[in-house]
Structure formats: C-alpha cells, structure tokens
C-alpha cells in the first residue's frame, strides 16, 4: 500500500486572487497545488523561444491566437491559478474574460523553463498535473535544462497529467498532434540555451 502525502493549501483561491490583483505588474504570481509561486521574469532567450513558437504556430494555423501571460483556472474544480508562457486558442477566444479565465476551449498551453530552483517542481510536475486535470488537450514543455521539447497529450482529468508524452532533443523534429497538428523543427532552440 502506498501512502501519499497531501499538501495543505497555504490559502484559499479567493485570498490568492486578492494578493495577485494587488501585486505590482512586474510580479507574476501563480497558485498551484495549494501553494503560491512567483513566476520568474523571463530572460531574452526565453522570450525569443516564445516568439519563435508563436511564429511557427501562426504560420501553420493562422486561424488560431497565441496569448502570453493569460491567467487560467486550472486543476480539479478550477482551484488553481496559472499563467502559462503561452496559451493557444481559437481566434478571439478570451475576449470578454477576466484575469483568470476558464481553460475550456484552450487547445494548448506552453511553458519554457527558466533557470531557477522552482522549475523542476512547477513546470515538470505540478503544471502537467494541473493542466491535465483542467482538460487542456496539449501541454508543450520547452526545457532549456535538458535541451528537450516534450509534448503532453490525451489529458487525464481524474488524476491529472497526460496519458501520452513524446520528447525530442533540441535539433530533432517533433509533431504536435490533435487540435494543433503541426510539426516543429527544433534546431534553432540550440541557440537559446546556456
């Protein structure tokens, strides 16, 4: 029998939203797995990767929009709050939404790792669980530490995470399935790592 440790929440979602709404614009806060986290300010290479991805996606799928810094309600019962590096949706999907939107209709979320101590826990473990529980079809992780691109698909809403995971090393091509249905040549990403 496996005993799983359960983390207690630092605060309620409402308390988090109050804190997040009063934080300076230069501070990005997230609330995942009951814990508040500060999202590190992106460096130039991080932003360049997101811009590269936006260009690739818009060339292949001009009918879609790519949002940066869009707040989403994630996890089971929408009890988490995340701001992925990018969210891809049908055109004008988030028009009229507030700061924290329901992820219903989002096709893919994207995270590009930062060079900080929180990256492993948040981007590689907590966020895939939260995004899968929210039913977001695709999670793309561009990992600058391991020089890999990982496509998570087929979300598991019950336990979180994704049933299908495919990883390519920087320099290889990787297919993003389902609603995106595009192939990325990741050679250029070698340029944007330390």
Domains defined along the chain, listed by start: 39-192 (3.90.1570.10)
CA 131 – CA 103 distance, rounded (Å): 9
pTM: 0.86
Across 45-54, 71-80, 105-114, least confident range: 71-80
Across 34-48, 82-96, 104-118, 120-134, least confident range: 34-48
Task: State which H helix or E strand residue 121 sits in.
Answer: helix 119-121
DSSP state of 3: -
**Average pLDDT, rounded, for the chain:** 89
Cα torsion 95, 100, 105, 110: sign: positive
């Amino acid at each position: 029998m496996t005993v799983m440790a359960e983390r207690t929440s630092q605060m309620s979602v409402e308390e988090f939203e109050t804190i997040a709404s009063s934080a300076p614009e230069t501070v990005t806060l997230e609330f995942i797995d009951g814990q508040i986290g500060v999202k590190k300010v992106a460096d130039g290479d991080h932003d360049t990767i997101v811009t590269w991805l936006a260009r690739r996606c818009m060339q292949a799928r001009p009918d879609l929009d790519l949002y940066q810094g869009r707040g989403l309600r994630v996890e089971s019962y929408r009890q988490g709050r995340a701001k992925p590096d990018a969210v891809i949706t049908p055109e004008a999907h988030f028009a009229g939404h507030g700061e924290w939107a329901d992820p219903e209709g989002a096709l893919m979320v994207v995270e590009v790792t930062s060079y900080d101590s929180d990256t492993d826990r948040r981007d590689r473990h907590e966020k895939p669980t939260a995004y899968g529980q929210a039913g977001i079809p695709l999670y793309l992780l561009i990992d600058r530490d391991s020089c890999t691109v990982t496509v998570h698909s087929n979300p598991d809403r019950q336990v979180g995470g994704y049933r299908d995971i495919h990883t390519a090393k920087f320099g290889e091509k990787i297919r993003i399935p389902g609603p995106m249905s595009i192939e990325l040549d990741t050679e250029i990403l070698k340029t944007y790592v330390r």
